[in-house]
Structure 1
Amino acid sequence: MPVRQAMSKPVLLIGPEHTLRQAAQLMMQRHVGSAVIHDPEGEGCGIMTERDVLYAIGQGCDPDVETCRDHITWDAVYAHPDWSLEEAATVMTRGGFRHLAVVEDDEVIGVLSVRDLMREWSRRQAEATATV
């Protein structure tokens, strides 16, 4: 199955000037664990995850003052929507991350998370069990 069929969309897109609290609230409201950060005047696109917010607060950052800009993963790895789920899982495992932005024609069109992979794995297991 290609990544495009399992990825989550639409993507939560926020700016680098959002505070950590705003980022966390938006992720919570959308029930997602990551946000794509777009900085047209800076480094382009990056990703911020719930783990990034947790680490920042754990280091003593004030979530109402500190902005996302300094906690974004700018050198994120991106998946192509036609990759297989196995390719994406391998990249995620090797990189030690749980979210993979999916890019097509220089546009982020989705995010593949470990949760998405598990949903597909569970579905495949249920189908395999039902046919036995």
Structure 2
Amino acid sequence: MPSSYQPPTRKDQDKNRTHSQSETTNLKSGNALVSDLMDRKGGDIFSIRPTETLGKAVEVLRDKRIGALVVTDAAGSLVGILSERDIVRKLADTPGKTLPQSVEDVMTREVQTCGRDEPLLSVLKRMTEGRFRHMPVVQDGRLSGMLTIGDVIQYRLNELEHEALQLKQLIVG
């Protein structure tokens, strides 16, 4: 064997190896923030006053095709949240007498909120653990939008679809 010959080693192959998956690419979606989703969705907020009736709230929920309303005072500050679930529970407790009741008697007063700079995965975890589907977004002490669990899931599905398309293009060329 000539003295200049050296058999190939694994290290020789490393320079030709590609890395389609890395910690960075696999955790990319974990870096998504509430602001990423809200920039796509927009900041529409539907609210109701605490003194309004549940009948009025049900009409707004139906007309806007939404599942929850933020409850705000005259200054626009968040004082509660009213979801379809809250109303259904009250309907079960007071059949035939629910719709004239006031929003403040049924709303959830301790509202979980998130900020625009919070990671989406953190928000999703809190929503799942707390068993709620709507979370108001607050920026600089003021309401700036409403996030739903459906929004988060749809955002992630879109990301996965985009990633799959990129991989397909990489493979096909």
**TM-score between both structures, scaled by the size of structure 1:** 0.88
Residue 4 of structure 1 deviates from its aligned partner by 2.5
- Does the CA-based 8 Å contact 1:2-1:82 persist in structure 2? yes
Of structures 1 and 2, the one with the larger relative CO (CA 8 A, separation 6+) is: 1
1:59 has 2:93 as partner: yes
Query: How many matched pairs?
Result: 131
- Taking the aligned partners of 2:92 and 2:159, their CA distance within structure 1 comes to 38
- Taking the aligned partners of 2:36 and 2:145, their CA distance within structure 1 comes to 10
Cα distance change, pair 124–60 in 1 and its aligned pair in 2 (3 A): same
Structure 2 residues not aligned, in runs of 5+: 1-31, 168-173
Residue 21 of structure 1 deviates from its aligned partner by 1.9
* 1:17 aligned residue: 51
- Taking the aligned partners of 1:64 and 1:87, their CA distance within structure 2 comes to 35
Q: Report the identity percentage.
A: 24
- Taking the aligned partners of 2:35 and 2:61, their CA distance within structure 1 comes to 21
1:103 has 2:138 as partner: yes
Deviation per CA, 1:25-76: give whole Å up to 9, x if none: 11121121111101359x9521111111111112125243111111111111
Larger proportion of strand: 1
Structure 1 residues not aligned, in runs of 5+: none
RMSD: 1.9
* 1:5 aligned residue: 36
Cα distance change, pair 22–5 in 1 and its aligned pair in 2 (3 A): farther
Larger radius of gyration: 2
2:110 alignment partner, SS class: coil
1:128 has 2:159 as partner: no
